[in-house]
Chains A and B, each alone.
Chain A
Amino acid sequence: MSTVYPTIKKIAVVVACAFAGIAQAQTLKIGLASEPTAVDPHYHQTTPNEALVSHIFQPLLAMSPDMTLMPALAKSWEATEETVWTFKLDENARFSNGEPFTAQDVIFSFCRILNNETGIGSGAVNTVRRIAAIEAPDERTVLLKTTVPQPVLPNELARIPMIWSGIVKHDKLTFTPKEGCGVTSPWPVVNDFNSGKAVVGTGPYTLRSYVKGSGIVLERNDKYWGEAPAWSEVHMRAVPSAGPRLTGLLAGDFDLIENPAARDLKRIKESGFEYTVKPSVRVMFFQLDAGREQSPMVKSPKGDNPLQNAKVRQAMSLAIDRKTIVARIMDGVAEPANQYIPQGMFGAIEGAPALEYNPKKAKELLAEAGYPDGFELTLSATNDRYINDAQLTQAVAQYLSRIGIKTTVDTMTRSVYFPKRAKREMSAALGGWGSETGEAGNFLQYWTTTYNKELGVGSSNYGRYSNPELDKVYLQAMRTLDDGKRSELLQQAVKMALADMPNIPLHFESGVWAYRKGIAYEGRADQRTLATGATLAK
């Protein structure tokens, strides 16, 4: 040991110096709120995963910070027929090993998504399933063929990163997922990416190291075909509790942190740090059990389920003062919601009025619906998933109590909450949903449309609200390629949903980032934290 020790010490000194040297180069240290579960871009579609992966891999099309579609690996896209989307790939696009990005890589990426044995629940599978055939007339042109018109396909493709076909052995690649697409070696699994072996992307960064629970180090991709990013190196570490994450920033462990608690923003400013607040696409809402004669958490004097009555649902919405909730509970770091996606996005009702706060009218409506003395209701919510979820629920409960609905609150940890909600053990359940396609159809598809396993719609419609008229308008919109017409149809569907109010929208969460002086950070509506969004301030 006595002979080993000095050597180790020497190594230690060398390594420590090396680290100190790196720290002086342009390194960005980021404190994340939750850890990505893998580097595999087709593994798990969660915000932390998508954020990490988008440093290394790129999709055909990308979303701007305000959720408008823009070119990425494809420089143009167009519906050349009702059921054919044609993409022109950018001839400059290169992988980090210098290989050009071609149509073969597109076919391989889509094939891998359908042949991903280790993946857990990536929505990308849904999207790729809708592609019936892929044709590549030349190296830089890709035709995606579908059986029915798919106007939202480009938006969905913005969430599907492309990988390099050279990580497997293959003959000529064809889009025949069942027959193996021409791949002759085993498909890559999650560990091939986590170990860095299969990590070959076209993005601005490459993976240096990924140690679960300890941290992620990215370094600048010298062969990047786009504009070089500001930081030569990016260190990311997850610190789930907001308090330690903030102290990490204050102590200089981090240059940038995501999701500091809204109540700390004043202190951040006073301590000489900066922050960015960016309204997000995540809407918070209460989903009501509108589909059953009897509901488990409701007790009505008549013995029925008052939540089936649209007037009752409207009355509940009228009873909630969203402005006050945003000001008091959310510390101003949210926007009152008047529909399910923010104003200005595709399919949002243009110039929609704020949802009214009028307890008097609410009481009248309740009486009109036949419940002058109200009823008993329990609001269910998480207490560790969304920003201030438990306090928010308390506030809503008080507003409902004021119009005569005797409301109690039941909050629980997310691991108990989500399985319970899926078993439909709730009557009014808090939900949060970010429409990452940047258009109104996304929320309607999962939360409002009638539950239908075959069509893949209404899968989160736990309240089992059903309105055939709305379904018809929504489905028609999803088959309409004409943007103007589709937007109109979507607006019509959203209006119907608001009139019937099966989901009471509350507010849009805001993404918040805090950072040290000397950095400028542009937030994103999809709440992803990207090193490329941070620049050295002038």
Chain B
Amino acid sequence: MALFIVRRLLQSLLVLLAVSVVVFCAVYAVGDPIELLVSPDVAQAERDALIARLGLDLPLWKQYGVFLWRALHGDLGNSFVHGIPAVQLILQRFPATLELVFVAITLTCVLGISLGLVAGLYRDRWLGRGIMAGSIFGFSVPNFWQGMVFILLFAVWLGWLPASGRGPTIDVLGVPLSVFSAEGWSHIAMPAVNLAIANIALVLRMTASGVSEAQSQDYVRFARAKGIKPGRIVRRHILRNILIPVVTVIGMEFGSLIAYSTITETVFSWPGMGKLLIDSVYQLDRPVIVAYVMLVTLLFVMINLVVDLLYAVLDPRVQLLEPTA
């Protein structure tokens, strides 16, 4: 197990290095940020001084070298626009995104798995059919449009929920969170549901098909023939067996929600990382873009590791190390 983790971490380092090269070159190719940063009424001397200070006068390979050297010392550079460390800027936004994603993922797990279970068990009745039909809407409606409709319905027409932004926050162990107040929930409800709907539909369909497949398997038939209670069959025999692909998907979705909740964050003006990324791309804030992609890559690598470990917990047959031949 320990060896497995060490090996995976080493692989991750290589992945991060490769990603950094690609992102650095890509961001460099887009253009020179100085024209966006500096107003035309700034004298050439100031402009030159700024270019030198930001290191934009160096050739690409040298800029990358400087970046890599600093990154090895834990410094991913300062934001061009805000003048503070890019990592600090991202981490300031992280709690907002994390909170949103946690609520969305919880909704996904609870609603997705339970509705999927119902749909799978009552596949041939109107209840199961209804859930399956409803799930099609879930992932075919565009995310941003769905968000707009939510806002129009619940904020503008009904006036129940605020249209945008995050509620008041309370520091919990130094992390500002808004889910501990009613006002905070009124802010988070719409964006979290908006973010969750497509995932609920996905998890629901996976669970449903898994359940209906498992029901026709021999081990379930035997269990039933043995006279085990239906509830126990569902819990111990069916669910346990179908959860592996579901866990994989939820793990991956967790990562992509954190990294790419951009659309929801933009529609609801949620002050998270996704919105920061969009703003930074607009302003060609290179250090922030690079740092963002690096952190997200790290996040994905870690999530995959956790998912692999979860397999082992769910299914004792899974071995984390390939047998040495």
Query: Chain B contacts of A194 at CB under 8 A?
Result: 84
Q: Does A302 contact B (CB under 8 A)?
A: no
A419 touches B32 (CB 8 A): yes
Judged by a CB distance under 8 angstroms, whether A212 is at the interface is yes
Interface bits B79-110 vs A (CB < 8 Å: 1, else 0): 01111100001001100100000000000000
Are B83 and A35 interface neighbours, CB within 8 A? no
A215 touches B165 (CB 8 A): yes
Task: Scan B28-52; emit 1 where CB is below 8 A from any A CB, else 0.
Answer: 0011111111111111101100100
Question: Which of B69-77, B121-129, B202-210, B273-281 faces chain A?
Answer: B273-281
B168 near A15 with CB under 8 A, answer yes
Bound together, the chains give a CA A44 to CA B40 distance in angstroms of: 12
Interface string of A6-20 (1 = CB under 8 A from B): 001101110110011
B148 CB-CB contact with A under 8 Å: yes
Shortest beta-carbon distance, A521 to chain B, in Å? 20
Given that A12-B180, A120-B50, A419-B31 are contacting pairs, would A46 and B156 also be in contact in the complex, using a CB cutoff of 8 Å? no
Instruction: Check if B159 is an interface residue, CB within 8 A of chain A.
Output: yes
A422, B152: Cβ atoms under 8 Å? Answer: no
Known: A237-B165, A415-B284. A251 touches B151 (CB 8 A): yes
Q: Tell which of A96-104, A121-129, A167-175 binds the partner.
A: A121-129
Q: Is the CB of B31 within 8 A of A415?
A: yes
Contact status A38-B36, CB under 8 Å: no
* Complex contact B181–A253 (CB within 8 A): no
Interface-forming stretch among B217-225, B229-237, B239-247, B261-269?
B261-269
Cross-chain contact of A45 among B39, B159, B279, B284 (Cβ < 8 A): B39
**A324 adjacent to chain B (CB < 8 Å):** no
- B164/A253 in contact, CB under 8 A: yes
B interface residues, how many (CB within 8 angstroms): 59
- Chain A, residues 115-143, CB within 8 Å of chain B (1/0): the string is 00010111101100100000000000000
Cα–Cα distance between A189 and B268 once the two chains are bound (Å): 33
**CB of B308 closer than 8 Å to a CB of A:** no
State whether A13 touches B181 (Cβ < 8 A). yes
Name A1-32 residues within 8 Å CB distance of B: 8-9, 11-13, 15-16, 19-20
A244 & B168 in contact (Cβ 8 Å cutoff): no
**Which residue among B36, B172, B182 has the maximum number of chain A CB atoms within 10 Å of its CB?**
B36
Which of B43, B80, B163 sits near A456, CB closer than 8 Å? B43
Whole-angstrom distance between the alpha carbons of A343 and B178 in the complex?
Answer: 51
In the complex, the answer to whether B37 meets A247 with C-beta atoms within 8 Å is no
Interface centre among A121, A239, A419 (most CB of B within 10 A): A121
A239 to B151, CA, bound (A): 14
Q: Is the CB of B84 within 8 A of A16?
A: no
Are A122 and B156 in contact, with the CB atoms below 8 A?
A: no
Whether A415 contacts B30 by the Cβ 8 Å rule is yes
Q: Report yes or no: B181 in contact with A16, Cβ–Cβ below 8 A.
A: yes
Cross-chain contact B81 with A11 (CB below 8 angstroms): no
In contact, A456 and B283 (Cβ under 8 angstroms): no
A456 surroundings in chain B (CB, below 8 A): 43-44
| Given A8-B172, A211-B92, A212-B82, residue A244 in contact with residue B40 (CB < 8 A) | no
- Give the nearest-CB partner of A194 in chain B: B84
Report the bound CA distance from A118 to B184 in whole Å: 35
Q: Is the CB of A121 within 8 A of B31?
A: no
B93, B152, B155 interface centre (most CB from chain A within 10 Å): B155
- When distances are taken between beta carbons in the complex, the residues of chain B under 8 Å from A126 are 41-43, 46
**A122 CB to closest chain B CB, in angstroms?**
7
Instruction: State whether the Cβ of A243 lies closer than 8 Å to any Cβ in chain B.
Output: yes
Name A183-206 residues within 8 Å CB distance of B: 189-191, 194
Complex Cα gap A121–B47 (Å): 7
Q: Which residues of A contact B156 (CB under 8 A)?
A: 247, 250-251
Q: Which residues of A contact B82 (CB under 8 A)?
A: 37-38, 190, 212
**CB-CB nearest in chain B for A4:** B172
Residues of A contacting B93 in the complex (Cβ-Cβ under 8 angstroms)? 212-213
Q: Does A459 contact B (CB under 8 A)?
A: yes
Residues A121 and B36 in contact, CB atoms below 8 Å apart: no
A239 touches B46 (CB 8 A): no
Asked if A43 is at the interface of the complex by the 8 Å CB criterion, the answer is: yes
Q: Is residue A252 within 8 Å, beta carbon to beta carbon, of the partner chain?
A: yes
How far in angstroms is the closest Cβ of chain B from A228? 27
Bound CA span A193–B279, Å? 22
Report the minimal beta-carbon distance from B273 to chain A, rounded to whole angstroms.
9
Say if the beta carbon of A413 comes within 8 Å of chain B.
yes
Known contacts A15-B181, A419-B35; A244 and B151 CB within 8 A of each other = yes
**Beta-carbon nearest neighbor of A243 in chain B:** B148
Distance A35 CA – B163 CA, assembled complex (angstroms) = 18
Considering the complex, give the chain A residue whose CB is closest to the CB of B165. A237
Residues on B with beta carbons closer than 8 Å to the beta carbon of A120: 37-38, 50, 80-81, 83
Residue numbers in A under 8 Å from B32 (CB-CB): 419, 422-423
By a CB distance below 8 angstroms, the chain B residues around A529 are none
Asked if residues B41 and A446 are in contact (CB atoms below 8 Å), the reply is yes
Closest-CB distance, B80 to chain A (whole angstroms):
7
* Residues of A385-421 contacting chain B, CB below 8 A: 413-416, 418-421
- Residues of B near A118 (CB, < 8 A) are 83
B50 contacts across to A, CB distance below 8 A: 120-121
Residues of A within 8 A of B92 (CB): 211-213
Complex alpha-carbon distance, A121 and B42, angstroms = 6
Whether, in the assembled complex, B170 has its beta carbon less than 8 Å from a beta carbon of chain A, the answer is: yes
- Chain A residue numbers with a CB within 8 Å of B168 are 15-16, 19
Report Cα–Cα, A248/B162, bound state, in Å: 8
* Also in contact, A453 and B42, with CB within 8 A (given A247-B164, A253-B162): no
Contacts A8-B180, A194-B84, A418-B35; is A251 near B162 (CB within 8 Å)?
Answer: yes
Q: Are A123 and B42 in contact (CB under 8 A)?
A: yes
Q: A214-B96, A422-B35, A446-B41 are in contact. Are A244 and B163 (CB under 8 A)?
A: yes
User: In the bound complex, how far is the Cα of B72 from the Cα of A324, in angstroms?
Assistant: 59
Residue A460 CB within 8 A of the other chain = yes
CA distance A442 to B92 in the complex (A): 39
Q: Could you tell me if B159 and A213 are in contact, using CB atoms closer than 8 angstroms?
A: no
- In the bound complex, what is the Cα–Cα distance between A347 and B203 (angstroms)? 67
B159:A35 contact, CB within 8 angstroms: no
Q: Is A241 in contact with chain B by the CB < 8 A criterion?
A: yes
A384 to B159, CA, bound (A): 31
17 contacts between A and B (CB under 8 A): A19-B183, A121-B37, A123-B41, A211-B92, A213-B92, A239-B269, A244-B268, A247-B151, A247-B163, A413-B282, A415-B31, A415-B33, A415-B283, A416-B30, A419-B31, A422-B35, A453-B44
Which 7 pairs between the two chains have the least Cβ-Cβ distance? A121-B38, A419-B31, A251-B155, A123-B41, A251-B163, A418-B35, A12-B181
B residues whose Cβ falls under 8 Å from a Cβ of A: 30-44, 46-47, 50, 80-84, 89, 92-93, 96, 148, 151-152, 155-156, 159, 162-166, 168, 170, 172, 180-184, 266-269, 271-272, 275-276, 279, 281-284
Query: What is A's interface to B at a CB cutoff of 8 Å?
Result: 8-9, 11-13, 15-16, 19-20, 35, 37-38, 43-46, 118, 120-123, 125-126, 129, 189-191, 194, 211-215, 237-241, 243-244, 247-248, 250-253, 384, 413-416, 418-423, 433, 442, 446, 453, 456, 459-460
Besides A16-B168, A121-B39, A460-B40, 6 more A-B contacts (Cβ < 8 Å) are A15-B168, A118-B83, A120-B81, A121-B46, A251-B151, A251-B163
